[in-house]
Amino acid sequence: MEKKFYQLIEHTADIGIRIEAADLKGLFEKAAIAMFDIMAQRLENPGRKITTLKVTQSALDLEGLLVNWLNELLSLSATRGLIFTGFRIDDLNEKRIEAESEGEDIRGFKVSVEIKAATYHQLKITKTSFGWLAEVIFDV
């Protein structure tokens, strides 16, 4: 079994994650990958087609930006029938993100958890001596 780069946080009715990264781009990428990793597991599907979408979000602060980013990905996943599997962040500051997200047809996955939204509940983004730490709770 593959070792996870994130930790699940125990929460009564929802699911939370704790992630660490050397920089903000890595933190935002890992948060998105963890969210879709929790939601769905790949089925055997050797001929998968990749759809790339440009995603741009803004917010008043870093916490709002992370929530907006994750919720926009959830929205695109639902409306386009995709599970996102890769991310390239082109530009990121404390109030804006521009990225390319690679998604695959949802039929190539077993969806086990329906995440409705990333929430502000107990949301934490902290600069540490090694880089960045984030904790996010998802409404399921």
How many domains, in total, are found in the chain?
1
The CATH number for 125's domain is: 3.55.10.10
Give the domain extent around 34. Answer: 6-41+50-139
pLDDT given at position 12: 74
Q: What is the pTM of this model?
A: 0.93
Q: Which residues of the chain have pLDDT under 50?
A: 1
The predicted pLDDT at position 115 comes to: 96
Q: Cα–chain-centroid distance for residue 130?
A: 21
What pLDDT is attached to residue 3?
59
What integer pLDDT is reported at residue 5 of this predicted model?
81
Rounded Cα distance between 121 and 34, Å, is 18
| Cβ pair 71, 118 in contact under 8 A | yes
- pLDDT at position 1, please? 42
Predicted pLDDT at 47: 67
pLDDT at 53: 98
Instruction: Please indicate, yes or no, if residue 89 is contained in any of the structural domains.
Output: yes
Place of tokens 């990121």: 92
Q: Which residues of 28-46 are buried (b: 16+ CB within 10 A; e: fewer)?
A: bbbbbbbbbbbbbeeeeee
- On whether residue 14 sits in a domain, the answer given is yes
Within a domain: 1: no
What DSSP assignment string belongs to 35-58? HHHHHEEE-S-SSPPEEEEEEEEE
Q: Which of 26, 125, 139, 8 is nearest to 74 (CA)?
A: 139
